[in-house]
Structure 1
Amino acid sequence: MSATRQPPQEQAHQPGRESEMTPRPDYEPRFPGVGKLKGKVALISGGDSGIGRAVAVAMAREGAAVALVYLEEHNDARETECLVGREGADCLRIAGDIGDEDFCRTAVGMVVDRFGRLDILVNNAAEQHEVSDLTELESAQLQRTFRTNVFGYFYLTKAALAHLPKGGSIVNTTSITAFQGHDTLLDYSATRGAIVAFTRSMARSLTGRGIRVNAVAPGPIWTPLIPASFDADHVAEHGASTPMNRPGQPNEVAPCYVFLASDDASYISGQILHPNGGRIVGS
């Protein structure tokens, strides 16, 4: 099987803009909704584009109202808001930095004020930066990556716990790099490993409250973070080394989040799903 490659491209700013990608990622759910999340409210960080956009549209199709938290990609966020609305669901856009605990408290408060409840938290926003050697990793970058990818998850979860009911669900985004490592994404891989441990620890902590906590560990997926992280040649080969010889699309990952957030997964907590193109990794 020949590898499927993307056109070489780069973006200068993280976390990247979906509107500038060629081709655009596939976000559209593949099947009709059946009301799995009817009446629920979901808060999705990094919900403007990539996996977050696909999750937002998929959850909307299943009946959820959706709040999108994103950094500053306003055009992408407005487009996602329209896509959610096209599914007949209400949508709230909230711009800000999840590395700021005050912002996370404010964002959760805005969701509850708007919808009157919060049932599902999807911790998905992240950033990554290449370094070829640990000696090149500057302290400011290390702290920034952990502030977004780890502290932000803690902050949003801490704020959400005041509102999540029995039967609520938290779904975290980790990565295949947490299990395989990555030679040039040193700090990013470390944060993804931290989120695996966070997921398992929070699952144990919240079992008595009837709140399930799980995670999704995508492999190479075609999202704005890719051209915003790597050079054009690397982007062109993204996903080509997987057993399926291609990168995944966001709409191939989003069903994992819908499943884990729904009552279909009522007996699942502390687990990691691996949509990664066929790589066999430890769980």
Structure 2
Amino acid sequence: MADDRPQDPTTRHPRPEFPQQEQEHPGWTGPMDPPPDHGEESYRGSGLLTDRATLLTGGDSGIGRAVAIAFAREGADVVFTHLPEEEKEARETARLVEEAGRTAVPVACDIREEDRCRELVDRAVAEFGRIDVLVNNAAYQMSQPDGIGAISTEQFDRVVRTNLYGMFWLCRMSLPHMRPGASIINTTSVQAYKPSPHLLDYAMTKGAIVTFTQGLAQMVAGDGIRVNAVAPGPVWTPLIPATLPDTAEFGKQAPLGRPAQPAEMAPAYVFLASQRASFITAEVLNATGGTPLP
């Protein structure tokens, strides 16, 4: 049962130091210590997204799983992507969505490929007949503490194609299937404003997402479609032990002294997708644990 009483945000969830841990990319939820909280036991819906047809990328774990759970408990059906090697994680997300009484359609899809993005949108439209909410959440990063010389062209291409090309294609392909009242929500990052040198290429793409969000929002405002973004700070997801060399003090730099749990990000996406945000577009909702952003 959710506990909605006021709680100290600095101690509500685990604080560093964490056990040092490493995983192969893309990372898995099960081995993480402490285990991430996606809202499995805490998120309670109130009908904010009843019957919304949602397309979500990167829904197998982390923020994506938390968003899928929250959307389902708010009444939405969800088509979500995962990488082929993340099928077990995707099944768990699907189980949680279906447990909420909504439709879950996991799709193995690498959004770096334009044809796969087209097939994904076609699948969502075949399932629901329309797209009410598009959440561009899938992302790739890899720490390179040795500087720009260590960022290979292969890595740079993967980061840009995952974080930018996929988002661009999915927006372009989804818009013809969106009606007035629909919403696009992109995931940017605190890295867009305060880039860590070891995440240079990733931070660059997150800055581009802010610009893209603001420009697209103006382009489609007259069609009655809103476009916003969420900018998380440090969040405890499988991407962290899979891509960063030091997890022991992850999130300690945030003024709240800890990383967010994925469950703490989901309400921002619910709000932006709902009619409660009907006059909000071209905005970035910062959820950084206290790091001031412009």
Alignment TM class, shorter chain as reference: over 0.9
Report if aligned partners of 2:45, 2:73 keep a CA contact under 8 Å in 1: yes
Q: Does 1:92 align with 2:105?
A: yes
| Separation in 1, partners of 2:234, 2:44 | 26
1:237, CA displacement in angstroms?
0.6
Q: Which of 27, 43, 48 pairs up with 2:38?
A: 27
What are the within-5 Å matches in structure 2 for residues 1-283 of structure 1? 3-14=15-26, 16-28=27-39, 30-72=42-84, 73-131=86-144, 132-231=146-245, 234-282=246-294
Q: CA deviation at 1:239?
A: 0.3
Report deviation, 1:23.
Answer: 2.3
Partner SS for 2:288? coil
- Is the partner of 2:78 in helix, strand or coil? strand
Tell me how far 1:57 sits from its aligned partner.
Answer: 0.3
Asked if the contact 1:5–1:246 (Cα under 8 Å) also holds between the matched residues in 2, the reply is no
For residues 43 and 155 of structure 2, what CA distance do their matches in structure 1 show?
40
- Is the 2:16–2:248 Cα contact (8 Å) retained in structure 1? no
Aligned AA (1:57): I
CA distance in 2, matches of 1:159, 1:7: 43
Please list every run of 5 or more consecutive structure 2 residues that lacks an aligned counterpart in the other structure.
1-9
Structure 1: 5+ residue stretches without partners: none
Note the C-alpha offset of 1:10: 0.7
CA displacement 1:76-109 (0-9 Å, x = unmatched): 0000000111111110010011011111111111
Cα deviations across residues 159-200 of structure 1 (Å, max 9, x unaligned)? 111201110000000000000111100100000001000100
| Alpha-carbon shift at residue 20 of structure 1 (Å) | 2.7
Question: What TM-score, normalized to structure 1?
Answer: 0.96
What TM-score do the two structures reach when normalised by structure 2?
Answer: 0.92
Q: How many residues align?
A: 279
C-alpha contact (below 8 Å) 1:243/1:277 kept by paired residues: yes
Residue aligning to 2:5: none
What whole-Å deviation, never above 9, does each CA across 1:225-247 have from its counterpart, x for those lacking one?
A: 1001112xx21110011111111
Distance in 1, Cα, partners of 2:137 & 2:154: 22
What SS does the corresponding residue of 2:222 show, helix, strand or coil? helix
Give distance in 2, aligned partners of 1:162 and 1:108: 10
- The CA distance in 2 between the partners of 1:208 and 1:120, in whole Å, is 17
Q: Which runs of 4+ in 1 moved over 6 A?
A: none
CA distance in 2, matches of 1:247, 1:163: 36
Is the CA contact (8 Å cut-off) linking 1:222 and 1:249 kept in structure 2? yes
Q: Distance in 1 between matches of 2:104 and 2:61?
A: 14
In structure 2, the residue corresponding to 1:4 is in which secondary structure?
Answer: coil
| Displacement of 1:260 | 0.3
Percent identity, please: 48
State which drifts further: 19-28 or 137-146. 19-28
